[in-house]
Every structure is written in structure tokens, then in C-alpha cells.
Structure 1
């Protein structure tokens, strides 16, 4: 097949396949994101998504939440999609110009459903971020026509709604609630934080002032409000406290998605980026203008300060619940 007749996504996939085969990209290395592919090869995001879908179906790459798409380890291709002829196993040294018949082999072998559309969208958002999500990208990931997902979802906005409900439904709340308001609030907060950890884009779904009316989010509120009920609080205060805790979780988790976006845009991990800022911070510390900042930062020595979101989340949650104690257990209030 003449090079000019090869679809752009196949030519790009062939180049990335070559880099993997030649060892330029080793197992575990990040491969270019859809946005980076679109920029480097001047193609649409949907085309870039088809590139990663083709390599993923071959078992050469795999999506990892909060990291992106990386080169798969040895044998990863053995766990790819299957056909009546057996597992899909494609060598990293395959031809640089796959034939149309090869491309057709990637067609889905199952009937398209709304659930498959939603799960494909969640997969893109988990690995690439919500900004990289598009209906065309979902179609490319599923290996179907660009307009096919619209038979099941009206728009991207509707899709995000369904995605949020699907991942929030992963939360499990025990029938036997922990004794005491604090233990119940802690469990609810930790459950929601874990979901944001698994799906960083979840913090981007909408402002606090425009909550989504999805059953699984109401289930979270039901759990938290039950913990606040029976302590003499008026309804407005109960709802305010529920929103306050939710906002704290969402506000902390938003940095998970932002870090994914920053890593994709710069190609640097958070540690690498901080290393690149060492000279600038050193100059600020040495200026003498910020003595307390210099003293605190200097106390860490050569190892420096490591911002750990999980530890910071725990500190903030503990402080918030400590502050609620007087409100929940003050004079005339019900004890846990």
C-alpha cells in the first residue's frame, strides 16, 4: 500500500510501534497522550485516540489511572481482546503499514451498548483526563463509526452525567452503620475520596452550586445526612455541612486531575517539575524576605518537603471533624 494511502492513525501507530520495538519506549514508559499526538502529528484528537486504541488492542500499551497510557510489560498482549481464533497477539515489530484487513480485525465483536460507551468514556477520562474526552474519541476507542455512540448518548454532557453516576455507584456503604456521627462521616468521606483517587476527573464534573441529580450522588448525601440527623441541627445547617465536606473532598481531589494534565502537557512528573524549580525556590529562600518560610523549608534538609495529598487530606478531615464536635455535641445536643 502506498504511504500516501495509509490512514494517518495507522502511520502514527506504526511510528510508535517502531519506537517500542527499537527500545526507545521501554515497558512502563509513558507514550504520547492523545493531546500530544494531536500536536506532534497535526491531527484531530479523534485520530490520536484511534492511534492509542490500535496499540492497546495489540497489547502494546495499557492505560493506567493518574499516569496515562504506558508501554505494556512482557506478555501483556496475551491478555488482549479475543476472537474466535484465540487471543490477539501482535508483534511490536509488525509491518509499519498495516493493511485494511488488519484494521478491520479490530472491529468490535460484541453489540454496542450504552454501558460499553460509558465504560469506554471512563477509561479515556481515567487515563487521559476529562479534557481529552470526546464522542469521537469514545467511538475510536470502541472501534466503531464516529456517530455510533450517539445512538446511546445524546451528547458529551449526557455522557459525563452517566459516567459520574457509574463511578459513584462503585461506593459501598455498609447496612450496619458505624456507631457515632463522626465514624459515619469519616467512612463517607474516605469512600468518596477513594473514588476520586480512582477517577481523578470526577472532581471536574461541575461546581458545588450545580450538583448533579444522579442517584449515586444522592446515596452519598443520604449517608452523610443520616450521620448529621438527630443532633438538633436545623435542615439548612445539615445541608450546608454536607456540602462543606463534599466541597473539601472535591477541592482537594481537583489537584489529582490537574497533575495529570500538567504531566501530559510538560512531560514531567511532579518530582521532575519540582527539581526544575529548585533554583527559583533557592533564590527566594536566600533573599531574606521570607524568614519563616525559609526556616520551615530549611528544616527538611536536603530531602526537602514532599507534599502528600493523602496525608494532607487526612489532616484536613480530622481538623474539620474536630471543629464539628462542639456543634454536634454542645450543650443540649445529642451525644453519639
Structure 2
């Protein structure tokens, strides 16, 4: 079965790998000539260069110069490898201390750092499941740091966890949309502006402003303002502000 998200491997084996407690396999096999870190780094390079589909046991083995069977002496399979990859990316994130900034500024920083991570490594949006994160040192360090951004907000522990998930959910959804938009542009070799220019004459003939008054008026205004039906920068600014406005209802309710 192909792995499609974190948390799809065998839990105890995955956790042992993540925390460096995995015992060497008792079966006969090739002698180890590389390290687990080298294997994970090779998988990360493949994902960044060619996308997640390029990350196969054979490709990873070839990248580090070992046989495919050797890889299985490090990890049971691709599901566990994906967990290691995600945790490694999280472990390498910057975590500057929070120095008394207003809560809204702190949460904006959390969102921006995660957006930068998902923009630099688009494959993460395909596999980093919020419901089953790989509970390794990278995930825990990231979680602890981001929870600290909610200090002094007055939220309960349960609401703090839910608020962080809500914020990260917005970031992940936005980045998926941005990746999809970029992929369409690449696949069609046509910018949004070019696409609309090509289709504008037909749309003007078939779209009746009397039948669709709001769609015609509002769609035209939005398209003119954004240069497209959807603009990633505008969507980010608007969506992040509304997400923080929603959390403000909780933070400010007892003021």
C-alpha cells in the first residue's frame, strides 16, 4: 500500500526510529554502509527536487549508493520514511524566542514561518496530516514553540490546542491552493492573465449580466483588483487577518 500521509506506518516502529531507539534488524542482510540521517537527507532531496512521487526505496538507495535491500535495514518501508522526512523538516525550522510581542504578532509569525516552509517544500502539504503527526523531536519542538505563542492569551489548554490547529489548518489550505495555482500555470505554460485574455471574448458573449448581476459585477471588480480570479498574496492577507479576527473573539472575550 502506498503511503500518502504521516501516521500510516506501524506506530511503535515509527516512534522508535524517530527517537533513535530502533534496534538493528535481527535478520540477515547487507552490512550498513550509511546512516539513517543520510537516508532521510537523500529522501528530502528527492522530494524537493522532483516531488514526492520520486521518493521510492530504490531511488533513495541509488542516491546514497547502497542496494535497495539495505534501505530496509534502516526503515521498514516508505510510510515510516515519510514520518522521518516530515519530522526532519520540522526539526530544522528556526524557533526564535517570543519576546513580549502582542499575541496577534506572534501568531502572524507562526503562520508566516509555516507558509515559508510549505512554499519551499510543497510536498509537505501532501503528507503532513494534522490528525496524525509523526511524534518525533521535530514535531514536539515545533508544537512546544508554537504553543508558547499563545502564552498570556488567557485561553484554556484545550482552546489553545484547537486555536493552533485552526491557524495551521488555514496555512495548509492556503498553501495547497497556491501550489495548485502554480501547477496549473506550469502545466499550461500560460499565466492567469493570458488565460483570461484568451477566454474574455467568449465570456463576454455567454455571460449575461442581467442573469448573473452579482457574479458579473463582483467578479469583474475582483478580477480587476487582483489581475486574476484568485491571487495568492491577496488571499493570504485577507484569510490570515480573518483567521486572527476569529481567534480574537476567544482571546478578548473576558477583557
Please say whether Structure 1 and Structure 2 have the same fold, judged by a TM-score greater than 0.5. yes
- Using the TM superposition, give the Cα deviation of residue 241 of structure 1 relative to its aligned residue in structure 2, in angstroms: 0.6
- Distance change >3 Å, CA 274–CA 210, structure 1 → 2: farther
Question: The residue matched to 2:76 in structure 1 has which SS?
Answer: coil
- Distance change >3 Å, CA 124–CA 284, structure 1 → 2: farther
Partners of 2:243 and 2:192 in 1: how far apart?
A: 33
* 1:325 and 2:245 aligned: no
Partners of 1:134 and 1:263 in 2: how far apart?
A: 27
Find the counterpart in structure 1 of residue 141 from structure 2.
219
Partners of 1:133 and 1:118 in 2: how far apart?
A: 10
Find the counterpart in structure 2 of residue 315 from structure 1.
238
Partners of 2:68 and 2:136 in 1: how far apart?
A: 27
Whose Rg is larger? 1
- Structure 1 contact 225–242 (Cα < 8 Å) conserved: yes
Q: Across the two proteins, how many residue pairs are aligned to each other? A: 220
Partners of 1:152 and 1:126 in 2: how far apart?
A: 21
- Using the TM superposition, give the Cα deviation of residue 203 of structure 1 relative to its aligned residue in structure 2, in angstroms: 1.3
Partners of 2:65 and 2:46 in 1: how far apart?
A: 14
Q: Deviations over 1:173-209 (max 9, x none)?
A: 2134342211211111111111111101111224332
Question: The residue matched to 2:116 in structure 1 has which SS?
Answer: helix
Find the counterpart in structure 1 of residue 132 from structure 2.
210
- Structure 1 contact 171–192 (Cα < 8 Å) conserved: no
- Structure 2 contact 87–136 (Cα < 8 Å) conserved: yes
Find the counterpart in structure 2 of residue 239 from structure 1.
161
- 1:7-156 matches, within 5 Å, as 112-156=34-78
Q: Deviations over 1:145-167 (max 9, x none)?
A: 23232232221111111111111
* 1:268 and 2:188 aligned: yes
Partners of 1:150 and 1:210 in 2: how far apart?
A: 23
- 1:158-237 matches, within 5 Å, as 158-237=80-159
- Using the TM superposition, give the Cα deviation of residue 326 of structure 1 relative to its aligned residue in structure 2, in angstroms: 3.2
Partners of 1:277 and 1:139 in 2: how far apart?
A: 47
- Distance change >3 Å, CA 212–CA 233, structure 1 → 2: same
Q: Deviations over 1:266-303 (max 9, x none)?
A: x42462797289438726862444322222343445x9
Higher normalized contact order (CA 8 Å, seq sep 6+, divided by chain length): 2
Structure 1 gaps, min length 5: 1-110
- 1:237-316 matches, within 5 Å, as 237-258=159-180, 267-269=187-189, 271=191, 275=195, 278-279=198-199, 282=203, 286-288=207-209, 289-299=211-221, 300=223, 304-305=227-228, 307-316=230-239
Structure 2 gaps, min length 5: 1-32
Question: The residue matched to 1:174 in structure 2 has which SS?
Answer: coil
- Distance change >3 Å, CA 263–CA 163, structure 1 → 2: farther
Give me the TM-score of the superposition, normalised by structure 1.
0.56
- Using the TM superposition, give the Cα deviation of residue 260 of structure 1 relative to its aligned residue in structure 2, in angstroms: 6.7
Partners of 2:108 and 2:191 in 1: how far apart?
A: 30
- Structure 2 contact 98–106 (Cα < 8 Å) conserved: no
Question: The residue matched to 1:228 in structure 2 has which SS?
Answer: coil
- Structure 2 contact 91–142 (Cα < 8 Å) conserved: no
Partners of 1:273 and 1:121 in 2: how far apart?
A: 36
